[in-house]
Amino acid sequence: MTATQAAAPSASAPSEAEQACPISPVVDIVFSRWTTPILWSLNEYGRQRFVELQRGIASITPKVLTQRLRQLERDGLVVRTYHPEIPPRVEYDITELGRSLAPLFAHLAEWADTNLDKVEQARRDHDAAAAG
């Protein structure tokens, strides 16, 4: 066994970040830049075609949407259904596992309604103090 092999953590051993904060892996899965809007949209509006998702999520590129949907499918949060029609139709839907995140999203939306104005005020106060 080489020194590198001995130093490498095993696949089942928690990383330092996971030991320090056990929700880190969840944050990495669910709260990447485009994942949350995709899951929110599918949870709120149900099954959608690619173009519907793209229209509903302003400024996401087709390439990035494709990548995120593939990752969400791999993570078991989204299911892709291919309909062999002419022209072919592909639909995306949130899975039960993905839907289990709905209470978390609801709590975050409530927190945002209650606190985002406070965050903005804190930022303005901080910036004013730094500038003055």
Q: Can you list the domains of the chain with their CATH numbers?
A: 22-100 (1.10.10.10)
Start-to-end Cα distance in the chain: 59
pLDDT tens-digit readout, 90-119:
999 999 999 999 998 899 899 999 999 999
- Helix 102-131 vs helix 35-45: angle between axes, to the nearest 10 degrees? 140
Note whether 82 and 67 are within 8 A (CB): no
Most confidently predicted of 22-26, 28-32, 73-77, 85-89: 73-77
Could you tell me which residue, 20 or 63, shows the higher pLDDT? 63
The letter for the amino acid at 16 is: E
The residue count for the chain: 132
* Residue-wise burial string across 76-98, b where 16 or more C-beta atoms lie within 10 A, e elsewhere: ebbbeeeeeeeeeeebbebeeeb
